[in-house]
A and B are shown apart, each in its own frame.
Chain A
């Protein structure tokens, strides 16, 4: 089944403890992206990747890192999480970056930083 898989689904951590949220897609998509969803703000893009070893900042990249060493994986790294990073995170992928290439979303990771 074609899908985008994020892990974990829920994560509670403390300020400053490094964490990684994994994202994997099995559709051979070139384009992958991370979003955070906050009430009243919709989805905002954190980082995106157009292909292996090609990543760039989105609208809200501060406090996050990403890597794209393999085409299928695009982990989101929080090196020193803070409470303002408590949010619902979504990974998405598409065949290519063009706006006519539909985005496929994972089921989300709810992160709480205390």
Chain B
């Protein structure tokens, strides 16, 4: 069955440390791939997306993600985390259009001072 997996429910990192959030998908074809961030009390905001081309994509707030077809992964990275990055992060995939978009269960990020 088609699925999106975020293996880490909760991650804690120190401010200034690097971050990697994992996302794996299980689809027959390569879907469009997205990362969203949800700050407390807010809706989801698009961080970045991958459609085709360069497998390393840059997003807002200093985030980047790398698409690896061989691993069916789209991991989110940031070299140096800021306290304001504490939020929940969702990986999402869309195979054909927005009404087949599927979201992972989310990874909650805590940033230690």
- Residues of A near any B CB (own CB < 8 A): 4, 31, 33, 35, 40-45, 48, 50, 56, 58, 90, 92, 94, 97-103, 105-108
User: Chain B residues with Cβ under 8 A from A101's Cβ?
Assistant: 98
The reply to whether the CB of B97 lies closer than 8 angstroms to some CB of chain A is yes
Q: How far is the CA of A31 from the CA of B99 in the complex (A)?
A: 9
Chain B residues bordering chain A, tally (CB within 8 A):
26
Whether A42 lies near B98 (C-beta < 8 A) is no
Whether B96 lies near A99 (C-beta < 8 A) is yes
The reply to whether the CB of B44 lies closer than 8 angstroms to some CB of chain A is yes
Interface membership of chain B positions 91-110, coded 1 if the CB is closer than 8 angstroms to chain A and 0 otherwise: 01011111111011110000
The reply to whether the CB of B113 lies closer than 8 angstroms to some CB of chain A is no
Whether B44 lies near A105 (C-beta < 8 A) is yes
User: Chain A residues with Cβ under 8 A from B43's Cβ?
Assistant: 4, 90, 92, 105-108
- Residues of B near any A CB (own CB < 8 A): 4, 9, 31-32, 41-46, 49, 51, 90, 92, 94-101, 103-106
Known contacts A33-B98, A102-B49, A103-B98: A42-B42 contact under CB 8 Å:
no
